[in-house]
Structure 1
């Protein structure tokens, strides 16, 4: 069963994405195809990474014409904003979420396995193992969201209440956000259809009425609270060991080595978030030391 490996990226993460692709080609088993989803102005850069199993897709083939990027005038030309006549300006990480959701209407693979640019695969893994007969593993950490979380989870929950016509959410709430998670392609299509039927407009217009949204939260709650878990098996096994916060480990090579030692036996890769600040050369060195 072929899996669509899905990475939404951009030029500032290109070298991290290159390392991810190298590790993927070494470690991923089975039948898979990797889709790199990028803005139109990044297509030529990322086409360097294309191969027999890897294809670059421009967001112009996924998103509507009326959502388009412009240079952020407050960033000195370093960042983009995505403008729309129907909502507030969006950042790149918003556009990346929309690309992943939109891809479901353009591919035939039964499963979509999301892989961020900052992931490095360290152990062999066949994405088809995420299936149990005809049910796909859904990452879900039960009761993990409370009022003390250091993120925007409560806003994302409130947004999914309105978007899916469910809720209101109660705390503690389930968390569906992680790196290396799988979606059913047919379920993602059902999700987009559900949103459009509820709101009488394109799903992108409905999702982007606010900038506080999480595609993982939307998908997870749709599966559990609209479909009643249909087609999925919940699992709290995080496949990726993720470094989310600057204060978790020392900001040097020794900190990365300590981080790698804390990788659980069932985890297949690491993710060092780009905003944490670790040097990419240090990440390469720590990874190669572990593999040696």
Structure 2
């Protein structure tokens, strides 16, 4: 894409939902964005109110830290989890079960997509690192945004995915429980207008505010809700261009990677992939990831 074409695409933000425990990984993500990513208007980092001060150091000309209190309803309140002696957090509401941080990170992204000024967002998990140059504008094809869908990827043994897909259908008022299409990726694009239409659909189907309906379940996958809405309910299919390309090569689970293991993993990155994601719960040392990514 030429510089002129890149400048002409609709305004697009990068969005990361994070927390204090991932601060160093998020710092590395920011360094990789600053070094290798172009075409975005701003990078928004969405965090719990108590974490805002420690993330402020990451702010810059094109990066803002957003307090979840600006996004989420006041009835969703965070408390220390007594079962972990306060090391973890719980979000409580009158409308559903206690939610963990990974549930609320999804709610923040959905709420941000509804209120942001940009036409679209590219969501990046905080344990993602960009290892190649990436122009966000390449996700636009005229007025259509790339829409990740991977047919056949949800198989019989993937109970969590099947539960998330079924709940997505329930929230959206769809007749089918769900199929075999996976919509989950760690670097993924959403349109603001589609998110707003999706939330209107949830409110019509459930009779409740969208965030109240979403906060009422722990079987939550925002990617499957967005994906099923686009595939099965959106009235304007021209908004999206389906693609099965995964922008991020992910190490989902296993032992902590050594320097040699990281090199072997990053050497396996696909030609169309621009980032790696080393899941934080593998406890791989962020310093080794930084060195492997050439950002040391």
Give the shorter-chain TM-score range: over 0.9
> What CA distance in whole angstroms lies between the structure 2 residues aligned with 1:167 and 1:273?
34
Q: Deviations over 1:58-117 (max 9, x none)?
A: 010100000010000001211100000111000001010000000123211111100111
One of 147, 167, 170 as aligned partner of 1:159: 167
**Partner Cα distance (2:43, 2:257) in 1:** 31
Query: Matched residue of 2:115: which SS?
Result: coil
CA RMSD of aligned residues (A): 1.5
Aligned-partner Cα distance in 1 for 2:31–2:50: 23
> Using the alignment, how far apart are the partners of 1:32 and 1:5 within structure 2?
8
1:117-141 per-residue CA deviation (whole Å, 9 max, x = no partner) reads: 1111111111111111111100110
Distance 1:237 1:55 in 2: 29
Is the CA contact 2:13–2:40 (under 8 Å) kept in the aligned structure 1? no
Partner of 1:133: 142
The residue number in structure 1 matching 2:272 is 266
In the other structure, the counterpart of 1:279 is 285
Q: Give the superposition deviation at 1:230.
A: 4.0
The total of aligned residue pairs comes to 286
Superposed CA offset, 1:177-197 (max 9, x none): 011100011101111111112
What is the CA deviation profile of residues 269-292 of structure 1, one whole-angstrom value per residue up to 9, with x for unaligned ones? 11100012211122122222xx79
TM-score by length of 1: 0.94
Q: Deviations over 1:186-237 (max 9, x none)?
A: 1011111111122221111212222011000000000000016341111000
SS in 2 for 1:271: strand
Match in the other structure for 2:188: 181
User: Which residue is equivalent to 1:219?
Assistant: 226
Per the alignment, residue 168 of structure 1 pairs with 176
Structure 1: which 5+ residue stretches go unaligned? none
Cα 1:164–1:170 change in 2 (3 A) is: closer
**TM-score (normalised: structure 2):** 0.93
- Residue 239 of structure 2 corresponds to 231
- 2:88: which partner in 1? 79
What's 2:213 paired with?
206
Structure 1 runs of 4+ with >4 Å offset? none
Deviation at 1:170, TM superposition (A): 5.0
